[in-house]
Amino acid sequence: MNGARILLAVSGGIAAYKAASLTSTLVQRGAIVDVIMTAHAEQFIAPLTFSALTARPVYTSLWDAPERIAHIRLVREADIAVVAPATANLIAKLALGLADDMVTTALLAARIPIVLAPAMNEAMWEHPSTREHIATLRARGYEIVEPDAGFLAERERGVGRLASEERILQTVERTLARRRSMDGLRVTITAGPSREAFDPVRFVSNAATAAMGIALAREAAARGATVTLLLGPTLLEPPHGVTVERFTTAQELHDLALGPAAGADLVIATAAVADWRPAQRSDTKLKKNGDDLTVRMERTPDVLAAIGERKGATFLVGFAAETDAHEEHAREKLVRKHLDAIAVNDVSRERGFGTGENALVLLWNEHERRDLGRAGKPVLAARLLDAVAELMEAR
């Protein structure tokens, strides 16, 4: 942790006093710590405490040093943000994107990993609103350090105590290590569906949303990689800090991919590319005339196979969306397309599509496999990159 720049956000719960000990430990381990506080936090602990511990100014208002625009500067200078304690009120604001003070404004502007350690009464922690907000933040990539069970301020016992300092520090160290694990690597990721039109308003496509590819691009960029994201049609916003190139058809992706993929250290192909396209495209909308419509289909370029044939030293990871005999079909694809590894998931009944949970198994070599489990796509993206990093290092 030596030399790491950490932004610590403190909100107004009784556990705020524990943030002082956390700050002291971070400083002793060599971190440079900046502290921001909510107005409610000041009711529990004075800013002077944190200023003395960090030997740096503490920011409690947007009007502290306004000429330096501190809420933007601080998150741009930091390697990681830590929110401890995080109250139910602050969690709700972050989930909803509200920004009405120093802490919420800074965190809304953050493009760095955020570790969030909630602390509140058990009834508040278990309330459906809090659970939904936590799920929202986890899906956005927040690292959540779940609260401990024990004696609470209300002289009750239950789940809601701020996680132990050791658990928070372990999460911070793990997140920092992950953030730096891909420094200098060039990564290309394909994501989203292709669309193959047979008239100006109709096309052949699938239910892919690009959520997995976008999560991988965000995670790779957070780890220090230079990321190019080749993105098909989607309503989802691509992450900040990556180069985005758009495609619509399989042919467009084929032509785009061979450039960035050729110079990449790692290519992860999550795009759900149509295997067939209409052999002819009408320039005008086809009208209903009471008869059935027959469209002759032809094969599209095999983008992943083309990358595999030219990959050289590039580590190439494919995706296999299967409805049956999942690993058998995926291993055949692994060999046939010259992949180094392949992630397979079950998409029967459209499972795996969208922004919800997914389940992945990573396969490589003749018999090797790792079950990455079921989780939200940001979590799976981190697990997948952890596994791929190990394979790349071993090679």
Which residues are known catalytic residues?
206
Computed from CA positions of residues 215, 222, 178, 173, in that sequence, does the dihedral angle turn out positive or negative?
A: negative
**Gap between the Cα atoms of 177 and 382, Å rounded:** 12
Torsion of CA 22, 163, 380, 205, to 10 degrees: -100
Name the residue with tokens 């009750």: 156
**Gap between the Cα atoms of 198 and 319, Å rounded:** 27
**Gap between the Cα atoms of 5 and 26, Å rounded:** 10
**Gap between the Cα atoms of 237 and 218, Å rounded:** 11
Q: What are the φ/ψ torsions at residue 291 (nearest 5 degrees)?
A: -100, 160
* Contacts with 355 (C-beta within 8 Å, 6 or more apart), sequence order: 139, 209, 211, 236, 377
Partners of 269 in the β-ladder: 190, 318
Buried b (16+ CB within 10 A) or exposed e, 84-118: bbbbbbbbebbbeeebebbbbbbbebbebbbbbbb
Q: Which two tokens stand for residue 250?
A: 């399989």
Q: In what order do the strands lie in the sheet with 186-191?
A: 243-246, 226-231, 186-191, 266-269, 315-322, 341-346, 357-364, 368-376
Computed from CA positions of residues 295, 354, 329, 247, in that sequence, does the dihedral angle turn out positive or negative?
A: positive
**Gap between the Cα atoms of 161 and 117, Å rounded:** 10
